Amino acid sequence: MLGIEDGWVVLAYLLCIVSALLCLVWGALKWNVDDTVEEPEEEIRQWAEEEDRVEEEL
């Protein structure tokens, strides 16, 4: 079979091809999906205040 005698080598080639196809399908499905997560301003403000406190302690 194409000069490849070992079945494990054939399996490795097939898995590479299948994984490449899955990556293409995943990329096509997620092409223009907006996956940005906006953090609420209150959480950001609290985080900044805590960071300021820690920096002052150092």
Inside any domain, residue 1: no
In which domain, by residue range, is 41 found? 7-57
Kindly state the tokens that stand for 13. 């080639």
Inside any domain, residue 42: yes
- The structural domain count of the chain equals 1
Mean pLDDT of the chain: 88
What gap in Å lies between CA 33 and CA 16, rounded to an integer?
26
Inside any domain, residue 2: no
Inside any domain, residue 48: yes
Inside any domain, residue 20: yes
Question: Is 3 strand, coil or helix?
Answer: coil
Give residue-wise pLDDT tens across range 3-26.
Answer: 888 889 999 999 999 999 999 999
Inside any domain, residue 39: yes
What is the pTM (predicted TM-score) of this model? 0.54
